[in-house]
Amino acid sequence: MRAGERALRASVGEEIVSGGWAEKAGEILDASRVPYERSFPLSRLTSLGVGGPADFLLRPVQVPSLAQALEGLTDEGIPLAFLGAGSNLLVGDAGFRGVVVCLADLFSEPEVAGATIRAEAGVRLPALVSRLTRLGLSGLEWAEGVPGSVGGSVRMNAGAFQDSMQSCVREVTLLDRHGRVDHRKVTSTDFVYRDAPFVGNRVVVDALFELTPRPPKEIEEIIRPFREHRKRTQPQGVRSSGCIWKNPPGSHAGRLIQEAGLKGTVRGGAKISEVHGNFIVNTGGATFADVMSLADLIRETVLKTHSVPLEMEVVVWS
Ligand SMILES: Cc1cc2nc3c(=O)[nH]c(=O)nc-3n(C[C@H](O)[C@H](O)[C@H](O)COP(=O)(O)OP(=O)(O)OC[C@H]3O[C@@H](n4cnc5c(N)ncnc54)[C@H](O)[C@@H]3O)c2cc1C
């Protein structure tokens, strides 16, 4: 678990701080003019469809008002968490006591200059890949089937097919919790497997991708086998948060789970996919407890059968 996530855990599921906490947050948000809602069910914003309410849900559409809101909320010590497309997130049934900032509406027109494109945090990877294909810019083909946002995917250093965000992200705009902006140049060595430690507990506002010119037809040819592989090996048309576990060095979590005989195991509304052992799917009405019960079973069984400790890839707010 990252340091930022550890700090976050302290604010998840606790009672709302009394003494006008919510009133103060409302005043700050009204002054900043960031669109927000109260008591918003996070199950609606996560691809797995699990999670209780956030006391406040912000949906910024521009950065200056978000910066103003963050500064005010931080000065008051109000707990904050950031959400992209919610496709790698497992939220507890008690939800989040504080303010969740959803960056999904931050998606103005990407800026293209030569072989680079700058995309805002809320742009979805499949939409970005199809735009790059039309523009004849190659480098993100592996990401066509990843349902994350640019911000969340930089944060997670999302990847597939031996590639990941680190190979083409060259600049990231970050906003800290006091509303300060930092334009940071990055190289592939700033990232690690499924993490971007330089982000810390800041918001990724946008990212600049450096790509390679290539005819659109050739880009489509690169994408096709990736798409077919996903269709063949991953559950389709169901709610999930992708892979639950990181692949241990030199191994595949999905294969270990399959060999441990766990595919198809059910707890309440949650099930270990019969198609891919590293996916837990919501078959209807799954709770956080159902999903965690399966996750605990997987961790214990794989440790017993293969002596391999699994580490969670999905981010847990509980
Ligand atoms: C069907 C399916 C297939 C998938 N396939 C893959 C795959 O092939 N490879 C892969 O790596 N992942 C895969 N995933 C997981 C997921 O799509 C990726 O991890 C994605 O990058 C997460 O982006 P997000 O916007 O959904 O992040 P979220 O789930 O919203 O958040 C993930 C983390 O990032 C943080 N975060 C979100 N936005 C920001 C921001 N703007 N600034 C700072 N922090 C932020 C959150 O606080 C949280 O800690 C898959 C998921 C599904 C459902």
Give DSSP secondary structure letters for 215-272. Answer: -HHHHHHHHHHHHHHHHHHS--SSEEEEESBPPPTTS-HHHHHHHTT-TT-EETTEEE
Under CATH, what is the fold of the domain 236-317? 3.90.78
- DSSP reduced 3-state for 10: coil
Ligand 1 atom with the shortest distance to the CA of 234: 1
Residue nearest to atom 5 of ligand 1 (CA): 146
Chain CA centroid to CA 297, Å? 24
**Are residues 150 and 127 in contact, defined by beta-carbon separation less than 8 angstroms?**
no
Listed in order, the ranges of the chain carrying CATH 3.30.43.10 are 3-105
* E strand intervals along 23-125: 36-41, 53-58, 80-83, 89-91, 96-102, 111-113, 116-120
Centre of ligand 1 from the C-alpha of residue 131, in Å: 20
Q: Residue 309: which of 294, 299, 317, 298 has the closest Cα?
A: 299
The alpha-helical segments, DSSP class H, found in the chain are 3-9, 21-32, 63-75, 125-135, 150-156, 216-233, 253-259, 288-306
Q: Specify the residue for token string 């999930």.
A: 240
Residue in 70, 156, 203, 241 to alter for ligand 1 test, most ligand atoms within 8 A of Cβ = 156
**Are residues 223 and 130 in contact, defined by beta-carbon separation less than 8 angstroms?**
no
Q: Residue 49, by phi and psi: left (phi above 0), alpha (psi -120 to 50) or beta?
A: left
Centre of ligand 1 from the C-alpha of residue 244, in Å: 11
Residue nearest to atom 21 of ligand 1 (CA): 153
CA 290 vs CA 53, 120, 121, 167, 256: distances in Å? 18, 35, 31, 36, 21
Q: Residue 79: which of 19, 4, 149 has the closest Cα?
A: 4
Under CATH, what is the fold of the domain 3-105? 3.30.43
In one-letter notation, the amino acid at residue 63 is V
Ligand 1 residue neighbourhood (C-beta within 6 Å)? 47, 81-89, 103, 121, 146-149, 151-153, 155-156, 158-160, 199, 203-204, 240-242, 315
Ligand 1 atom with the shortest distance to the CA of 89: 29
Query: Containing H/E element for 62?
Result: none
Helix axes 63-75, 21-32, angle to 10 degrees: 160
Residue nearest to atom 8 of ligand 1 (CA): 160
Residue in 82, 87, 101, 280 to alter for ligand 1 test, most ligand atoms within 8 A of Cβ = 87
Centre of ligand 1 from the C-alpha of residue 240, in Å: 12
| Rounded Cα distance, 270 and 293, in Å | 9
* Domain 111-217 architecture: 2-Layer Sandwich (3.30)
Angle at 58 between CA 30 and CA 73, to 5 degrees: 60
Angle at 60 between CA 56 and CA 64, to 5 degrees: 120
| Rounded Cα distance, 92 and 48, in Å | 12
Centre of ligand 1 from the C-alpha of residue 216, in Å: 26
User: Which pair of tokens denotes residue 250?
Assistant: 């030199």
Centre of ligand 1 from the C-alpha of residue 83, in Å: 9
Ligand 1 atom with the shortest distance to the CA of 47: 53
- DSSP reduced 3-state for 41: strand
For each of the chain's 318 residues, which pLDDT tens digit applies?
Answer: 343 333 344 344 444 444 478 999 999 999 999 999 999 999 999 999 999 999 999 999 999 999 999 999 999 999 999 999 999 999 999 999 999 999 999 999 999 999 999 999 999 999 999 999 999 999 999 999 999 999 999 999 999 999 999 999 999 999 999 999 999 999 999 999 999 999 999 999 999 999 999 999 999 999 999 999 999 999 999 999 999 999 999 999 999 999 999 999 999 999 999 999 999 999 999 999 999 999 999 999 999 999 999 999 999 999
Listed in order, the ranges of the chain carrying CATH 3.90.78.10 are 236-317
Residue in 57, 155, 169 to alter for ligand 1 test, most ligand atoms within 8 A of Cβ = 155
Listed in order, the ranges of the chain carrying CATH 3.30.465.10 are 111-217
